[in-house]
Amino acid sequence: MARALGVYEGSLREAIHRWKYEGKTALTSFFASRMVEGLSRYWDPESFDLLIPVPLHPQRLRERGFNQALLLAKEMSHRTGIPFRKRLLRKSRPTPPQVNLSGGEREKAVRGSFYTTRSEDVKGRSILLVDDVYTTGATVNECARALLKAGAERVDVLTLAHALKNP
């Protein structure tokens, strides 16, 4: 199951852009508090064993300076007590920025680009995958595929925003 807190437009889109591309990391606390509210709205928080952020490739991490999904997962963990693991899911190769790609192009670009580092830490676990924006689902689907392949019992997704498809 995947859930988002809002639509990726207007003031939410602007705030996410400032946070993500202008380094306004002070917004993390606000966003994480909303994410915790959403978590409780859609699920029983006690049903999750781990919070796992969608990873960035090291090259993108160097460019941006931080992983926004990791900031969210870390703060959510602090607020809920659900452990987070930042290096359990990794991105094996850089992919082009997803913003200008179609759904099919996104799927092709990310296919096979995520892997788990320790299957034994995933096996039988219920995982909440955390990210900022759900666009086509290509990235989170590929992350979930890697986690399920490693033995996760369940993988659900929570994002700040969901991009609506163009009509």
Residue 98 has pLDDT above 90, yes or no: no
Domain that residue 43 falls in = 2-95+103-162
Residue 56: in which H helix or E strand, if any? none
d(CA 119, CA 14): 37
Q: Is the pLDDT of residue 75 over 70?
A: yes
Q: Please report whether residue 167 resides in a domain.
A: no
User: How would residue 166 be classed by pLDDT, with cut points 50, 70 and 90?
Assistant: low
- Compute φ and ψ for 49, nearest 5 degrees: -90, -30
pLDDT at 167: 44
What average pLDDT does the segment 135-146 reach?
A: 94
For tokens 């179609």, the residue is 102
Model confidence over 107-136: pLDDT tens digits? Answer: 888 898 899 999 999 999 999 999 999 988
Q: For residues 85-105, give the mean pLDDT.
A: 82
The total domain count for the chain is: 1
The yes-or-no verdict on residue 93 having pLDDT over 60 is yes
Q: Which candidate, 23, 35, 114, places its Cα nearest to that of 72?
A: 35
**Does residue 61 belong to any structural domain of this protein?**
yes
Query: Is 71 within a domain?
Result: yes
Averaged confidence pLDDT in the chain: 92
- 7-63 per-position pLDDT tens digit: 999 999 999 999 999 989 999 999 999 999 999 999 999 999 999 999 998 888 888
CATH of the domain at 12: 3.40.50.2020
